[in-house]
């Protein structure tokens, strides 16, 4: 009661249960003070200083809100995307599409967990589809097309690589024996075609995490790597890509990094650490070296696509978790056309997304 | 036109009046007692006028707006009647607030009350939608010919393929029980039903009800029913009527068939009870639609063997002139040689298989029970563990059958033959591993097996003795099982002060087996159920990142964790490492004594790093790896290594049904703390000698070295004659407890039978007597000679007839006879039998299931104890196989009642029919507005409080305005002053200038004296100045002073000028000269 106040005649007297303190007006009200004050000087209204402090707080709050919304905005951008397919087993639909490849004619090959390989044209129209000869629980995780248009596919759970015609006729089979010896596989993750028809490069996981290089006849010529976190070791190398100079880029998924090797297995450079920021990675599941010289990385854990230069400098990201077109849920694979159209296998959304970058 | 103008004029007038009155009121010009009424009526008038105007001009929009509103409980709107009362009362009580705030308070209160009333009335906002949802309800019961079903499925799939993108489609498969296979979604594709379908019955009504409930809001609804119309339970027409009242049309796609030639075994008749040496007659009745010939065989099954009783060639011929089915009976004679439970199976094999469409109805069973010695089913893990018990039972003249736990009768008809079941340290699940960690054998006792035991005790009077050991009771995982219900003790130990606890973390990976997520949830729940309230539980899964679904914490509130598990959707985990790391971190901080992790996965994730494995080993955390639907070697290897390296167990699961039990067992690793044992024996305390202990000397009872902790049930029927006061003397733990459960008796002995904890007992002379008495006491007592029941099946009902006689074989009247019936699906029902004749009692109940029904009856004869007996019968093969043609009536009625179409096959094949045709009225979805109304009311209420508590006043603003005006006035005044001065100065200077330019007036010489006072030669300017100023005589004194100052300034200037001229030696300045001259001349 710092200042005296007048009570108008006839007004209710203060019940006395609570002593009003002039400046704590909201608390007085909330504490149930029943006095009706008609004062000449409204001492229970906040002073100018208090107005100022409230205003400052509001300002700080508002700016915090704004900055937090900015932070939200700062996630990867969500560009427009065309949706191809949807969940289902019908032709043209997918059950967790996990591997994509582009052939020289620009046709898109999609492998999903029903063990089917479906072929689409550039506009997303289904052209044809076929099944792998033997089915074992789920489908292939790696797919590539060689210069002649042959489809090279990892028959993951049968421990072999199949080379098929564009119509699905098996032309060759590499491996087929489970094991850790040369030419044997444990859990095949990916296959990439070496330039100039020299052969293939594969990655595998399951405790025997390594890279194997094969010649065109399927004879293993080099292999390296083991399960672990040290450099040169891998934990689930989910993807591999070969540059024109035969550098072998490996997506070391569970170590959240990219490792680049010479053709004989010498580690040239590596980058990546787990995280959500630009340049960081969370479960990189696929790589694609585009014609513009940029490396497109599909991040299963961050639900986004990130681009790097071959030196490992990050360029940008897009996508982000969600079901809207342009967002992704557990993407498994990415391919890029000459005209920089990007196709992403949006695994848990059971669809393929087409971005124009 | 005129009327309109008039109306508007009136409205305007009223508005003006209201405004004027309001202003007057606010300015307190009006006083007097009528003021409140006046103001209230003014407000009402204004409101009426405003609303009238708005309604007139925007009626259309308003009507559309109002049409979008609906009220669930219109009666609540009557509560708006309190508004005037509230207004009157508030108007008085709020008087001190002053008029302005009072009006605001009244308005706010009125609004708050109105909003609350609207919220209570359930105001809804209606949103129309032209979306269509179609549910395909497909009958997959046995009566549907498979090729026709496949054709129908193809048809449904083609309909789904042609679905407009925005419409929704779902699928319900049904037989006896409906299942929502695909909820209404945009992307629907038909697939075969996942998992088992109970296809032995058809319940169209239940399927329709499920479909009706499964429709989403805000879409027009249609059901497409694919069925043959034959139902075994429920009433499809009633469900169709419900559907019609819900405005859900049902299109029917009929599956039509008609079997021209069919033969079936209609019934097998045999006396339910027989005696050794009797020639039992078994009569088999055949029924056929057309003449047929074939072979009829009768098999008998009993005591674990099956043998052929007889084989006869049979020819069914039509008696000339008759129509309808041909019926033929054939008798077999069976010589009863040993007391046994016999099941008879009749099988007919037609010579020409084409003469019979359905093979399933060609066999039928029935049974008969031949009594002999009391029989005991002894269940033990190892035969050697049951040596003592076997000897005791043999000495007591029991006929013993020793089995291992997995052989527990799955068919409860076998259990029915035993009078006593003894479980000797039997765990619920068990896995035997060899040195290499390979599974030698594993089993899991199913709930059905336990339910059979429990029902047998409760309803059939079978005795149950459960003997402890390290794998029994709570330590064996029997918490919340049917067996626990039958026992006199519970597995929980809530009363103990110190209970060592365990911690369990479950890590789930999306499973690719059918209904994988469903099974994962079942598993998690089973594991959680086993844990005690102090045990800790945590659940980890991949949800875009490996994270806790439920962080590790005591399982006290199991509902929370169960709810979290229910909403869990585990994703495709790439890596085991983060999950195990999370678990390791949490378990390391946990103070639990036992720490355990269960991982369920297909083994695809990449193996954990050695650091994590090391961490797990260091912290003594075991990991059990359950490999489910692995892809082969790699995944299995990863999982096996994980278990091997951490000292856990590895399971490779093929049948998901065993999963829950495995998890229970694993969770029980955590619950193992229920065993209490110590190396030195102590003597248990005998509290009282109850019936089973009669004649025992309590002090001779040898010591024990361990037991499983249990708690006696709080029931007056439970007796606990032997307890252990170790380790807690004030909380004795039951060692021997027994009670009557239903008709039967059950005994729990929580120590063991000589294997581990009661070795001293083996040398005790009284051990045989002890066990013998317990077994005798628990065994079923049957005195069925004077109490017989018979049962038969007709029209889907079981009719039970009981005859009660006394010792003199005379009928007993007024007995209280109750029969308990166990159905083939182990459901129990009680039937009270009514007396219909002297000594004869009857009752019936519905029995539509196929299989064996067991009946246990108790007769309470006045003045005597209860008498028991058992019986049973077999209901023939599923009703599904009795349907020889589709039910056209049902098919057509369902469609016509609901206004749907009967899709004729030709129409279905052509593209004319579409399930997704948009011919239904658009559906309206109601969005409840009450949360918003409530929120708004809360805000307004706050505003009302603020309005009453805070005297908002314009005073500060007025003050600020006054201050501002004052400041401004002063400033203006200052500015005026300055301007005035300048103006005046200008005037002066102008005047001076004018004077200087004009010749001096004639009166100047009169001013000579003034000139005389000047020290130097005077100038005309100085002399004339006072004259020029004469018109401004009223100028204030200050101004004069200033003028003097300015004058002196001019004079000073002139003097200075003159000085200059003087110093130059000339007498006068040249400019002055002529003037001076002129002046002098004048």
pLDDT digits (tens, 9 = 90+) for A305-352: 999 999 999 999 999 888 888 899 999 999 999 988 999 999 889 999
Q: How close are the terminal C-alpha atoms of chain B, in Å? A: 97
> Considering only alpha carbons, which residue of chain B is nearest residue A87?
B187
| 8 Å CB contact of A207 and B641 | yes
* A251 in B contact zone (CB under 8 Å): no
Residues of chain B found within 8 Å of residue A18, distances taken between Cβ atoms: none
| 8 Å CB contact of A87 and B187 | yes
Specify the CATH class of B501-662 in words: alpha beta
Chain B residues in contact with chain A using a Cβ-Cβ cutoff of 8 Å: 95-98, 161, 186-187, 189, 191, 512, 544-545, 571-572, 574-575, 577, 602-607, 609-610, 629-635, 637-638, 641, 945-946, 948-951, 953, 955-956
Contact (Cβ atoms closer than 8 angstroms) between residue B263 and residue B289: yes
For the cut 50, the answer to whether the pLDDT of residue A70 exceeds it is no
* Tokens (6 digits) for B773: 């008495």
pLDDT computed for residue A127 by the predictor: 94
User: In the β-sheet with B502-508, what is the strand arrangement from edge to edge?
Assistant: B546-554, B536-542, B502-508, B594-601, B621-628, B650-653
For the cut 80, the answer to whether the pLDDT of residue A213 exceeds it is yes
Domain ranges for chain A:
82-356
For the cut 70, the answer to whether the pLDDT of residue A154 exceeds it is yes
Q: Classify strands A314-319 and B711-712 as parallel, antiparallel or unpaired.
A: unpaired
Q: Please, which residues bridge with residue B541 across strands?
A: B508, B547
Picking from A33, A93, A235, the nearest residue to B575 by CB comes out as A235
Over chain B (1082 residues), what is each successive 10-residue block's mean pLDDT? 72 77 67 70 78 80 86 90 85 77 86 92 87 92 87 90 88 89 84 72 91 88 93 88 92 87 82 76 86 90 80 86 82 82 86 77 79 82 82 83 84 74 85 55 77 84 89 78 89 57 82 66 74 80 85 80 80 87 91 83 85 89 81 75 84 63 58 76 88 82 89 88 85 90 89 87 86 87 72 78 83 86 79 88 83 81 73 72 82 91 81 86 82 91 83 79 92 90 92 82 48 44 43 48 62 81 60 44 38
Q: How far apart are CA B141 and CA B85, in angstroms?
A: 65
Cβ-Cβ contacts under 8 Å for B799 (sequence gap 6 or more) = B791, B792, B793, B842, B843, B844
String of DSSP letters for B510-568 = ---STTHHHHHHHHHHHHHHHS-TTSEEEEEEESSSEEEEEEEEETTSHHHHHHHHHT-
Picking from A38, A207, A350, the nearest residue to B607 by CB comes out as A207
SS3 content of chain B, % helix, strand, coil (to 5): 40, 30, 30
| 8 Å CB contact of B189 and A236 | no
Q: Where in chain B is the domain with CATH 2.60.40.1930?
A: 787-869
Picking from B161, B544, B606, the nearest residue to A254 by CB comes out as B606
CATH number for the domain running over B131-257+885-921: 3.40.50.410
Picking from A157, A301, A350, the nearest residue to B545 by CB comes out as A301
**Closest Cα in chain B, distance from residue A337 (Å):** 28
**Closest Cα in chain B, distance from residue A72 (Å):** 18
For the cut 90, the answer to whether the pLDDT of residue A118 exceeds it is yes
For the cut 60, the answer to whether the pLDDT of residue A34 exceeds it is no
Residues of chain B found within 8 Å of residue A227, distances taken between Cβ atoms: 606-607
B769: buried, middle or exposed (CB in 10 Å: 19+, 13-18, 0-12)?
A: middle
Q: How far apart are CA A43 and CA A24, in angstroms?
A: 10
pLDDT digits (tens, 9 = 90+) for A135-149: 766 788 899 999 889
- Mutate one of A9, A187, A252 to test the B interface: name it (highest B CB count within 10 A): A187
pLDDT computed for residue B1028 by the predictor: 43
**Closest Cα in chain B, distance from residue A265 (Å):** 22
> Considering only alpha carbons, which residue of chain B is nearest residue A90?
B189
CB pairs below 8 Å between A and B: how many?
Answer: 118
pLDDT computed for residue B448 by the predictor: 79
Q: How far apart are CA A187 and CA A171, in angstroms?
A: 22
**Closest Cα in chain B, distance from residue A338 (Å):** 31
**Closest Cα in chain B, distance from residue A249 (Å):** 20
pLDDT computed for residue A145 by the predictor: 93
For the cut 90, the answer to whether the pLDDT of residue A109 exceeds it is yes
Residues of chain A found within 8 Å of residue B606, distances taken between Cβ atoms: 205-206, 209, 227, 235-236, 253-254
Q: Crossing angle for the helix pair B888-898 and B236-245, nearest 10 degrees?
A: 10
Cβ-Cβ contacts under 8 Å for A319 (sequence gap 6 or more) = A76, A78, A302, A303, A304, A305, A326, A327, A328, A331, A344
- CATH fold of A82-356 reads Neuraminidase (2.120.10)
CA angle B786, B787, B788 (to 5 degrees): 120
Contact (Cβ atoms closer than 8 angstroms) between residue B510 and residue B519: no
> Considering only alpha carbons, which residue of chain A is nearest residue B945?
A29
**Closest Cα in chain B, distance from residue A91 (Å):** 11
Q: How far apart are CA A205 and CA B479, in angstroms?
A: 41
**Closest Cα in chain B, distance from residue A92 (Å):** 12
Picking from A29, A37, A86, the nearest residue to B946 by CB comes out as A29
pLDDT computed for residue B264 by the predictor: 84
Q: Helix, strand or coil for residue B187?
A: coil
Picking from A29, A86, A93, the nearest residue to B949 by CB comes out as A29
Q: Where in chain B is the domain with CATH 2.60.40.10?
A: 263-370
pLDDT computed for residue B1009 by the predictor: 47
| 8 Å CB contact of A329 and B544 | yes
User: In the β-sheet with A143-145, what is the strand arrangement from edge to edge?
Assistant: A143-145, A151-155, A160-164, A170-175
pLDDT computed for residue A27 by the predictor: 44
pLDDT digits (tens, 9 = 90+) for B754-773: 888 988 888 888 888 888 88
The residue that leads in pLDDT, B90 or A190, is A190
Report percent pLDDT > 90 for chain A. 50
Q: Please, which residues bridge with residue A129 across strands?
A: A118
B518: buried, middle or exposed (CB in 10 Å: 19+, 13-18, 0-12)?
A: middle
pLDDT computed for residue B431 by the predictor: 64
Q: Report the half-sphere exposure of A84 (CA within 13 A, side-chain side).
A: 26
String of DSSP letters for A106-152 = -PEEEEETTSEEEEE-TTS-EEEEEE-SS-BSB--S-EEE-TTS-EE
* Tokens (6 digits) for A308: 């790097």
| 8 Å CB contact of A301 and B574 | yes
pLDDT computed for residue A200 by the predictor: 93
pLDDT digits (tens, 9 = 90+) for B56-99: 778 888 888 888 888 888 899 999 888 888 888 887 787 777 77
pLDDT computed for residue B663 by the predictor: 60
> Considering only alpha carbons, which residue of chain B is nearest residue A34?
B949
Picking from B577, B632, B949, the nearest residue to A157 by CB comes out as B632
pLDDT computed for residue B1076 by the predictor: 44
Report percent pLDDT > 90 for chain B. 16
Residues of chain A found within 8 Å of residue B512, distances taken between Cβ atoms: 113, 137-138
Residues of chain B found within 8 Å of residue A156, distances taken between Cβ atoms: 631
* A10 in B contact zone (CB under 8 Å): yes
Q: Helix, strand or coil for residue B255?
A: coil
> Considering only alpha carbons, which residue of chain A is nearest residue B165?
A86
* A 93-152 residues inside an 8 A Cβ radius of B: 93, 96, 113, 136-138
| 8 Å CB contact of A206 and B606 | yes
How many other C-beta atoms lie within 10 A of the C-beta of residue A151? 25
**Closest Cα in chain B, distance from residue A242 (Å):** 24
Give, as one character, the DSSP assignment of residue B877. Answer: S
User: In the β-sheet with B69-71, what is the strand arrangement from edge to edge?
Assistant: B69-71, B123-129, B923-928
pLDDT computed for residue B1026 by the predictor: 43
| 8 Å CB contact of A236 and B575 | yes
| 8 Å CB contact of A156 and B637 | no
pLDDT computed for residue B668 by the predictor: 57
pLDDT digits (tens, 9 = 90+) for B981-990: 999 999 999 9
User: In the β-sheet with B132-139, what is the strand arrangement from edge to edge?
Assistant: B178-185, B168-174, B132-139, B220-227, B250-254
Picking from A8, A89, A254, the nearest residue to B189 by CB comes out as A89
Residues of chain A found within 8 Å of residue B95, distances taken between Cβ atoms: 10
pLDDT digits (tens, 9 = 90+) for B740-754: 888 788 999 999 888
CATH number for the domain running over B263-370: 2.60.40.10
Residues of chain B found within 8 Å of residue A42, distances taken between Cβ atoms: 951, 953, 955-956
**Closest Cα in chain A, distance from residue B710 (Å):** 45
> CATH classification of B787-869 is 2.60.40.1930, yes or no?
yes
Picking from B575, B946, B951, the nearest residue to A37 by CB comes out as B951
**Closest Cα in chain B, distance from residue A49 (Å):** 15
Q: How far apart are CA A272 and CA A308, in angstroms?
A: 11
Report percent pLDDT > 70 for chain B. 84
Cβ-Cβ contacts under 8 Å for B702 (sequence gap 6 or more) = B681, B683, B758, B760, B761, B763, B764
* A 12-31 residues inside an 8 A Cβ radius of B: 12, 25, 28-29
Q: Which of B717, B777, B774, B744 is nearest to B854 (CA)?
A: B744
Give the CA diameter of chain A: 108
pLDDT computed for residue A252 by the predictor: 94
Q: Which helix (H) or strand (E) holds A171?
A: strand A170-175
pLDDT computed for residue B656 by the predictor: 56
**Of A38-42, A220-224, A325-329, the least confident:** A38-42
Contact (Cβ atoms closer than 8 angstroms) between residue B520 and residue B570: yes
CATH number for the domain running over B373-433+450-493+709-779: 3.40.50.880
Residues of chain A found within 8 Å of residue B186, distances taken between Cβ atoms: 86
* A177 in B contact zone (CB under 8 Å): no
| 8 Å CB contact of A303 and B635 | no
């Amino acid at each position: 009661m710092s200042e005296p106040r007048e009570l108008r005649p006839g007004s209710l007297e203060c019940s006395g249960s609570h002593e009003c303190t002039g400046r704590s007006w909201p608390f007085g009200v909330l504490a149930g003070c029943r006095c009706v004050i008609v004062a000449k000087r409204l001492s229970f209204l906040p002073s100018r200083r208090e107005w100022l402090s409230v205003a400052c707080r509001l300002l700080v709050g508002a700016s915090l809100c704004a900055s937090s919304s900015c932070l939200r905005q700062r996630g990867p951008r969500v560009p427009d995307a065309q949706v191809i397919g949807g969940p289902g087993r019908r032709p043209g639909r997918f059950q967790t599409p996990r591997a994509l490849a582009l052939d020289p004619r620009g046709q898109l090959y999609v492998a999903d967990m029903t063990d089917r390989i479906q072929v689409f044209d550039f506009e997303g129209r289904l052209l044809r589809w076929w099944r792998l000869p033997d089915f074992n629980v789920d489908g292939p995780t790696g797919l590539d097309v060689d210069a002649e248009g042959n489809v090279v596919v990892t028959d993951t759970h049968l421990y072999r690589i199949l080379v098929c015609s564009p119509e699905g006729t098996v032309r060759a089979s590499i491996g087929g024996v489970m094991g850790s010896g040369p030419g044997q596989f444990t859990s095949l993750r990916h296959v990439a075609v070496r330039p100039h028809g020299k052969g293939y490069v594969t990655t595998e996981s399951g405790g025997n995490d390594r890279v194997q290089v094969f010649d065109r006849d399927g004879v293993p010529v080099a292999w390296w790597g083991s399960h672990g976190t040290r450099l040169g070791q891998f934990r689930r190398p989910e993807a591999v890509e070969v540059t024109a100079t035969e550098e072998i880029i490996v997506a070391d998924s569970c170590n959240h990094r990219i490792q680049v090797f010479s053709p004989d297995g010498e580690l040239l450079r590596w980058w990546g650490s787990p995280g959500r920021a630009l340049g960081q990675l969370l479960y990189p599941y696929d790589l694609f070296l585009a014609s513009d010289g940029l490396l497109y990385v599909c991040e299963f854990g961050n639900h986004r696509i990130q681009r790097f230069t071959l030196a490992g400098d990050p360029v940008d990201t897009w996508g982000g978790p969600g079901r809207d077109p342009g967002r992704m849920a557990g993407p498994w694979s990415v391919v890029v056309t000459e005209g920089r159209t990007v196709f992403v296998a949006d695994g848990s959304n059971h669809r393929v997304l087409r971005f124009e970058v | 036109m005129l009327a309109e103008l008039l109306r508007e004029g009136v409205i305007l007038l009223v508005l003006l009046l209201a405004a004027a009155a309001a202003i007057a009121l606010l300015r307190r010009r009006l006083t007097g007692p009528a003021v409140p009424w006046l103001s209230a009526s003014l407000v009402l008038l204004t409101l009426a006028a405003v609303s009238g105007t708005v309604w007139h001009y925007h009626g259309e929009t308003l009507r559309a707006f109002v049409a979008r509103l609906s009220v669930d409980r219109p009666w609540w709107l009557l509560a708006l009647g309190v508004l005037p009362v509230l207004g009157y009362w508030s108007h008085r009580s709020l008087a001190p607030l002053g008029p302005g705030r009072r009006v605001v308070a009244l308005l706010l209160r009125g609004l708050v009350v109105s909003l609350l009333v609207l919220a209570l009335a359930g105001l809804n906002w209606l949103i129309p939608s032209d979306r269509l949802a179609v549910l395909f309800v497909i009958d997959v019961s046995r009566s549907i010919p498979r090729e026709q079903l496949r054709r129908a499925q193809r048809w449904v799939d083609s309909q789904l393929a042609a679905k407009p993108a925005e419409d929704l489609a779902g699928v319900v498969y049904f037989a006896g029980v409906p299942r929502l296979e695909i909820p209404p979604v945009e992307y629907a594709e038909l697939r075969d039903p996942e998992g088992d379908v109970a296809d032995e019955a058809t319940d169209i009504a239940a399927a329709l009800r499920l479909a009706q409930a499964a429709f989403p809001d805000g879409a027009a609804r249609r059901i497409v029913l694919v069925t043959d119309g034959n139902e075994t339970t429920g009433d499809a027409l009633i469900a169709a009527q419900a559907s019609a009242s819900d405005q859900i049309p049902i299109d029917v796609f009929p599956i039509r068939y008609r079997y021209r030639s069919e033969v079936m075994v209609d019934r097998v008749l045999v006396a339910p009870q027989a005696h050794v040496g009797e020639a039992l007659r078994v009569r088999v009745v055949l029924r056929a639609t057309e003449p047929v010939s074939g072979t009829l065989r009768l098999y008998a099954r009993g005591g674990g063997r099956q043998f052929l009783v007889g084989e006869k060639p049979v020819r069914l011929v039509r008696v000339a002139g008759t129509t309808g089915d041909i019926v033929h009976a054939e008798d077999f004679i069976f010589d009863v040689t040993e007391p046994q439970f016999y099941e008879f199976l009749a099988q007919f094999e037609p010579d020409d298989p084409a003469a019979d469409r359905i093979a399933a109805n060609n066999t039928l069973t029935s049974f008969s029970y031949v009594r002999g010695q009391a029989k005991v089913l002894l269940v033990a893990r190892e035969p050697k563990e049951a040596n003592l018990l076997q000897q005791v039972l043999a000495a007591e003249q029991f006929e013993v059958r020793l089995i291992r736990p997995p052989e527990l009768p799955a068919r409860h008809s076998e259990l029915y033959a035993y009078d006593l079941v003894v479980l000797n340290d039997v765990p619920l699940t068990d896995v035997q591993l060899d040195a290499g960690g390979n599974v030698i054998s594993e089993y899991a006792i199913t709930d059905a097996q336990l339910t059979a035991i429990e029902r047998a005790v409760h309803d059939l009077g079978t005795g149950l003795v459960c003997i402890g050991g390290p794998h029994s009771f709570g330590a064996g995982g029997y918490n919340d099982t049917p067996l626990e219900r039958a026992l006199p003790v519970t597995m929980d130990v809530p009363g103990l002060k110190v209970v060592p606890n365990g911690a369990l973390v479950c890590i789930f990976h999306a499973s690719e087996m059918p209904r994988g997520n469903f099974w994962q949830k079942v598993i998690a729940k089973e594991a959680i159920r086993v844990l005690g309230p102090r045990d800790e539980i945590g659940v980890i899964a991949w949800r875009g990142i490996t994270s806790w679904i439920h962080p590790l914490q005591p399982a006290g509130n199991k509902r929370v964790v169960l709810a979290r598990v229910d909403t869990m959707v585990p994703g495709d985990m790439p890596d085991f490492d983060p999950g195990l790391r999370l678990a390791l971190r949490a378990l390391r901080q946990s103070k639990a004594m036992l720490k355990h992790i269960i991982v369920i996965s297909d083994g695809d994730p990449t193996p954990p790093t050695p650091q994590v494995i090391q961490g797990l080993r260091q912290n003594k955390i075991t990991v059990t790896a359950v490999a489910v639907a692995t892809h082969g070697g790699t995944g299995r290897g990863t999982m096996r290594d994980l278990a091997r390296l951490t000292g856990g167990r590895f399971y490779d699961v093929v049948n998901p049904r065993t999963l829950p039990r495995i998890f229970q067992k694993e969770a029980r690793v955590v619950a193992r703390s229920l065993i209490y044992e110590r190396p030195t024996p102590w003597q248990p305390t005998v509290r009282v000698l109850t019936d089973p202990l009669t004649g025992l000397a309590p002090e001779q009872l040898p010591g024990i070295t361990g037991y499983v902790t249990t708690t006696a049930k709080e029931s007056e029927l439970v007796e606990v004659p032997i307890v252990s006061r170790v380790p807690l003397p004030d909380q004795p733990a039951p060692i021997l407890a027994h009670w009557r459960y239903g008709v039967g008796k059950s005994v729990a002995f929580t120590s063991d039978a000589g294997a581990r904890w009661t070795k001293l007992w083996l040398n005790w002379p009284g051990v045989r007597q002890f066990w013998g008495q317990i077994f005798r006491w628990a065994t079923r007592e049957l005195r069925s000679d004077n109490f017989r029941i018979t049962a038969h099946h007709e029209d889907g009902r079981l009719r039970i007839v009981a005859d009660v006689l006394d010792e003199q074989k005379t009928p007993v009247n007024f007995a209280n006879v109750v029969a308990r019936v166990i159905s083939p699906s182990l459901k129990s029902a009680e039937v009270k039998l009514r007396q219909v004749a002297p000594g004869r009692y009857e009752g019936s109940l519905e029995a539509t299931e196929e299989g064996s029904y067991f009946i246990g009856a108790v007769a309470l004869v006045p003045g005597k104890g209860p008498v028991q007996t058992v019986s049973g019968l077999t209901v023939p093969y599923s009703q599904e196989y009795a349907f020889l043609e589709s039910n056209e009536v049902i098919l057509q009625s369902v469609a016509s009642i609901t206004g749907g179409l009967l899709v004729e096959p030709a129409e279905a094949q052509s593209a004319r029919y579409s399930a997704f045709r948009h011919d239904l009225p658009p559906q309206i979805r109601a969005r409840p507005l009450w949360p918003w109304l409530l929120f708004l009311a809360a805000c307004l209420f706050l505003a009302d409080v603020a309005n009453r508590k805070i005297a908002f006043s314009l005073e500060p603003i007025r003050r600020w305005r006054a201050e501002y005006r004052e400041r401004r006035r002063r400033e203006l005044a200052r500015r005026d002053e300055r301007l005035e001065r300048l103006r005046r100065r200008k005037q002066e200077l102008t005047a001076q200038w004018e004077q200087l330019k004009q010749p001096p007036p004639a009166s100047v010489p009169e001013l000579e004296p003034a000139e005389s006072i000047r020290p130097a030669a005077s100038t005309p300017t100085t002399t004339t100045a006072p004259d020029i100023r004469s018109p401004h005589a009223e100028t204030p004194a200050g101004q004069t002073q200033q003028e003097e100052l300015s004058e002196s300034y001019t004079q000073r200037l002139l003097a200075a000028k003159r000085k200059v001229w003087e110093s130059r030696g000339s007498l006068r300045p040249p400019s002055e000269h002529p003037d001076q001259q002129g002046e002098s001349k004048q």
